[in-house]
Amino acid sequence: MDRRDFLHLITVSALSAAIGDLANPGLAAGFAQATPNAGFAPDIELELTMSPDQVPLLPGEPTHVWRFTGRVLKGPAATLETLPSSYLGPVIRLRRGQKVRIRFANRIPEDSIIHWHGLDVPELADGHPRLAIASGADYVYDFEVTNRAGTYWYHPHPHMRTGAQVYQGLAGILIVQDAEEDALGLPSGSAEQLCVLQDRVFDTQNQLVYVPAGRRGNMAMMTGFLGERMLINGRPQPTSEVDASWRRVRLLNASNARIYKLAWTRGLPMVIIGGDGGLLERAVRQQILTLAPGQRADVLLDLTGLSAGTEVSLESRAYPEVDANMGGMNAMMRGNSKVPNGAPLRLMTLRTRDRNGPAFRLPERLSTFDESWVVRPSKTRRVPLSFQRMEWLLGGRTFGDMNEVAAEETVAAGSTQVWEFANLSNRMGMQAAHPIHMHGRQFRVLSRSGANSNSLRSGIIDAGWTDTVLVLPGETVRVQVTFTKHPGLYLYHCHILEHEDMGMMRNFRVV
Ligand code: C2O
Ligand code: CU
Ligand code: CU
């Protein structure tokens, strides 16, 4: 850090600490949250516990994991769905407009906090690392579901331990439904399936292997941790028997660092109807779909007319490793994995049975976006993604003090800005594709420049609301974001979890 940056940091953090205390009276007192908000009357009340467990994943020894388990305290029992023989957390099904209270019990042997990825919630419900609670403690989340129907997810967000805790099994899907989506009559019930993509390394005793904690400069931390074996929905690759009809597949890339270049076998197209922030206005048909860590996609698959016993697989197609990770140094180190980014993978297989499902016609128009899609931004901010002194930087800085906010990271509630993520090359030749995630509101991708020859580029969909945008090496991506109306401290960061844990993360303060 040079002297000017240093002085700047001191001034800004002193200032933001002062503002923080004014804006959040009561926050200084250890964020005590044992008593729920008076006056909040939840429609749904859940209990979610993080605890150690063992799950039979591979033949032989069960695997020690950390996992979420849940209980419905108030509301329909179907609000939670436990996935059999999986370590993933229960699927949480909510409706837009519901008021939700979640009682989180931390029973793993370290600090943690839960973040609801993609949801626009009040500051104290967002899972900022400064809110992490100790092992044995509880935390109450109160929020109203204002998001559009779509596929969201939840995972821990403690300081420097997000990668390790997600890897250990702590993640789950959160589905929001609403009237606009109901009206489409999309495939549901047994014609709808989840597909959570994760890669892991197992030792000879079937136990999960991960990098040692918090080691800056560790090679696996710098490239991101890649597994050698795929798990789908927290289990080894399954083959499922399905009707020869239309299917809806909700995809989530919950891997720490792997980017997938998804395609169906038999030349079947990806019919993409939604992304991170819910339905697109119209379906997009293409052969390839690029899915980066943190991102979701809502995809339809047309199996009508296929004879019984036909197999269709979801694959990740080969791509040059440099498309995700380039530069002289990267080529030497290749991360930790025998299965680098870009290795071809078979993810899951569907086998048709001798039965047709209900008929379905894909509607011409899926959804209508609100005015914030076209609102005029008040200013543009350039945010370089760079690498210096063995660290990934976001906007030229790393995550240090929990409350620190730079002047250009202070934004007005409900205002609209363009943030321009510029993935710069550097003298060391270290460069990577970074999936940049913003907490709070879903945003719109305005444009991409550079990286035209990158083979992941054609699979990227910029047509809908998103909360995580992949910025390829050499690329500049401009996004338009209308900030949440909730005041407080929020985060933006790279969703390669090792980059996030190493400090490729920053606060922004909504005032
Ligand atoms: Cu999915 Cu700040 O994270
Ligand atoms: Cu998030
Ligand atoms: Cu990154």
Dump pLDDT digits (tens) for 124-157: 999 999 999 999 999 999 999 999 999 999 999 9
SS3 sequence, 198-229?
A: EEECECCCCCECCCCCCCCCCHHHHHCCCCCE
**C-alpha–C-alpha distance, residues 421 and 292, integer Å:** 16
- DSSP reduced 3-state for 356: coil
**C-alpha–C-alpha distance, residues 89 and 170, integer Å:** 7
User: Looking at ligand 1, which atom is closest to the CA of residue 468?
Assistant: 1
User: Looking at ligand 1, which atom is closest to the CA of residue 493?
Assistant: 2
Q: Which ligand is nearest to the CA of 296?
A: 1
Give the model's confidence band at 191: pLDDT under 50 very low, under 70 low, under 90 confident, else very high: very high
- Helix then strand then coil, in percent of the chain rounded to 5, is 15, 40, 45
Of 16-20, 202-206, 449-453, the least confident: 16-20
Per-residue model confidence (pLDDT) at position 212: 60
Dump pLDDT digits (tens) for 101-128: 999 999 999 999 999 999 999 999 999 9
Closest residue (by CA) to atom 1 of ligand 1?
A: 117
Q: How far is the CA of 347 from the centre of ligand 3 (A)?
A: 24
Task: Write down the mean pLDDT value for the chain.
Answer: 90
Per-residue model confidence (pLDDT) at position 213: 52
Per-residue model confidence (pLDDT) at position 11: 31
Q: Which ligand is nearest to the CA of 439?
A: 2
pLDDT of residue 17 exceeding 80, the answer is no
Per-residue model confidence (pLDDT) at position 238: 79
Q: Which ligand is nearest to the CA of 436?
A: 3
Q: Going by DSSP bridges, is the β-strand pair 325-326/431-432 parallel, antiparallel, or unpaired?
A: antiparallel
Q: What percent of the chain has pLDDT above 70?
A: 89
Which stretches does DSSP call E strand in 157-295?
Answer: 172-177, 192-200, 229-232, 235-236, 239-242, 246-253, 260-264, 270-275, 278-286, 289-291
Please indicate, yes or no, whether the overall pTM of this predicted structure exceeds 0.75.
yes
pLDDT of residue 2 exceeding 50, the answer is no
Between 277 and 37, name the one with better pLDDT.
277
Q: How far is the CA of 190 from the centre of ligand 2 (A)?
A: 29
Return the sign of the alpha-carbon dihedral for residues 100, 67, 173, 135: positive
User: Looking at ligand 1, which atom is closest to the CA of residue 157?
Assistant: 2
CA atoms within 13 A on the CB side of 36: 14
Ligand 1 binding site (Cβ under 6 Å of any ligand atom): 115, 117, 155, 157, 294, 437, 439, 491, 493, 495
Q: Span 471-493, mean pLDDT?
A: 97
Per-residue model confidence (pLDDT) at position 14: 34
Return the sign of the alpha-carbon dihedral for residues 260, 502, 163, 175: negative
**C-alpha–C-alpha distance, residues 212 and 221, integer Å:** 9
Per-residue model confidence (pLDDT) at position 3: 36
- What is the helix (H) or strand (E) element at residue 16, kind and residue range? helix 3-23
pLDDT of residue 334 exceeding 70, the answer is no
Q: How far is the CA of 477 from the centre of ligand 1 (A)?
A: 19
Q: How far is the CA of 378 from the centre of ligand 3 (A)?
A: 27
Task: Dig out the tokens for 211 from the structure.
Answer: 């990098």
**C-alpha–C-alpha distance, residues 210 and 190, integer Å:** 35
User: Looking at ligand 1, which atom is closest to the CA of residue 118?
Assistant: 1
pLDDT of residue 20 exceeding 90, the answer is no
Give the model's confidence band at 425: pLDDT under 50 very low, under 70 low, under 90 confident, else very high: confident
pLDDT of residue 15 exceeding 90, the answer is no
Q: How far is the CA of 11 from the centre of ligand 1 (A)?
A: 28
88: which DSSP letter?
Answer: S
Residue 330 near residue 151, CB atoms below 8 Å: no
pLDDT of residue 10 exceeding 70, the answer is no
One-letter amino acid at 7 equals L
Per-residue model confidence (pLDDT) at position 390: 83
Give the contacts of 204 (CB within 8 A, at least 6 positions apart): none
Dump pLDDT digits (tens) for 395-406: 999 998 999 999
- DSSP reduced 3-state for 323: helix
- What is the helix (H) or strand (E) element at residue 20, kind and residue range? helix 3-23
Q: How far is the CA of 255 from the centre of ligand 1 (A)?
A: 12
Q: Span 265-276, mean pLDDT?
A: 98
User: Looking at ligand 1, which atom is closest to the CA of residue 155?
Assistant: 1
Q: Span 367-383, mean pLDDT?
A: 96
- DSSP reduced 3-state for 306: coil
Q: Which ligand is nearest to the CA of 499?
A: 3
Alpha-carbon separation of residue 314 from 83, 279, 286 (angstroms) = 20, 21, 14
Q: How far is the CA of 84 from the centre of ligand 2 (A)?
A: 26
β-sheet bridge partners, residue 470: 435
Per-residue model confidence (pLDDT) at position 415: 97
Dump pLDDT digits (tens) for 234-253: 999 879 999 999 999 999 99
Between 356 and 75, name the one with better pLDDT.
75
Q: What percent of the chain has pLDDT above 90?
A: 81
pLDDT of residue 389 exceeding 90, the answer is no
Closest residue (by CA) to atom 3 of ligand 1?
A: 117
Dump pLDDT digits (tens) for 52-75: 999 999 999 999 999 999 999 999
Q: Which ligand is nearest to the CA of 500?
A: 3
Give the model's confidence band at 202: pLDDT under 50 very low, under 70 low, under 90 confident, else very high: very high
CA-based radius of gyration for the chain: 22
Q: How far is the CA of 428 from the centre of ligand 2 (A)?
A: 30
